[in-house]
Amino acid sequence: MSLESATYVGDLVKTNPTGTDPKSQGDDHLRLIKAVLQNQFGSATNGSVAVPGVIESKAGGIKFPDASVQASAGITQAAADARYVNASGDSMTGNLVTSGSFNASPGDFRGASITPSGTLELAGTSPFIDFKTTDVDNDFRIIESGDKSALSFQNALGQGFALLGNGVLSASMGILGFSYGGSEASGWINFPSWLGGYQFRFGSAVVTTNAGGGGYIGYAAPFSSQSGVPVINYGDNGWLDNPIAPIQSQQDAGGFGFQAIGGANITIRVNYFSIGR
């Protein structure tokens, strides 16, 4: 009689049953096969594929069928729980090293470090990477705009700057202490305190002088604490030989007065650059 005893797939004898075995043992072979399959793969009902002889993959995670399989595999259930994570709703700590690409699509991945040797891909409407520290105000975020046109670098207060698709830096650079605004025709830049706190005002203004050849030009933004020291010149070639100079008594935080010699009641262009605080 060739009806063997078996608990797992490896115990089955592949040459059984033989051609000479009695037909009455057919149901015994079928029951043996069912019992072996249930021992081997447990009661998985979600269609997942189990690893033969080692683990059972279920919707709730990875599970060893029984203590004997744990012993034969050389790993405990607790060790498996610490080593493997679920496809969703689970967490892990420590380092993650990938040999290919890493795709977080979409969701939140947190860990000590990620070391991909391939590509690191973050999907979603506005994917971002957070760098956490103990100082909330200094937490840092790298975020891609929803239309994929800019990559922003911001702290927890929303201060930072953006790298546009054409390579131009834009937005507030408050995280570095810089600020700027206006336009090419009339703009301003404020340097941070660690660079002296200097402020710059610049522009090119078209002004009609008064009967004495004088005029006044306002800045795009006033200086914070004192008047600036302007450097000016004509923007029109026809007046390059005529002197033009700022009037010290008419310099204030919001702008400066000037005098154009021989330029009464005319419309001229004045280029200027002013330094203050």
Q: What pLDDT is recorded for position 112?
A: 55
Out of 59, 83, 107, pick the residue that ends a domain: 83
Residue 192 is assigned to a structural domain of this protein:
no
What is residue 16's DSSP assignment? Answer: P
Q: What pLDDT is recorded for position 183?
A: 85
d(CA 37, CA 46): 15
Give the CA angle between residues 122, 90, 104 to the nearest 5°. Answer: 10
Q: What pLDDT is recorded for position 93?
A: 64
Q: Are residues 269 and 220 in the same domain?
A: yes
d(CA 220, CA 229): 15
Q: What pLDDT is recorded for position 40?
A: 76
Q: Are residues 110 and 162 in the same domain?
A: no
Residue 252 sits in a domain of what CATH number? 2.60.40.3940
Of 67, 63, 32, the C-alpha closest to 48 is: 63
pTM over 0.75: no
Enclosing domain of residue 116: 91-124
Residue 95 is assigned to a structural domain of this protein:
yes
Residue 275: its H or E element: strand 267-276
Q: Are residues 165 and 217 in the same domain?
A: no
Out of 28, 53, 83, pick the residue that ends a domain: 83
* Residue-by-residue pLDDT tens, the chain, 277 positions: 578 888 888 888 888 888 888 888 888 888 988 988 888 776 555 555 555 444 554 444 555 555 555 555 566 666 666 666 666 666 666 666 666 655 655 555 555 566 666 666 666 676 767 666 665 555 667 777 767 677 777 666 666 666 666 555 554 545 466 778 888 789 998 887 878 889 999 999 999 999 999 999 999 999 988 888 899 988 876 655 678 899 999 999 999 999 988 888 988 889 999 999 8
CA distances from 88 to 85, 107, 109, 117, 163 (A): 8, 10, 11, 24, 33
Residue 166 is assigned to a structural domain of this protein:
yes
Residue 183 is assigned to a structural domain of this protein:
no
d(CA 95, CA 110): 10
Residue 72 is assigned to a structural domain of this protein:
yes
CA distances from 56 to 8, 71, 188, 206 (A): 13, 15, 66, 80
d(CA 89, CA 255): 60
Indicate the number of domains in the chain: 4
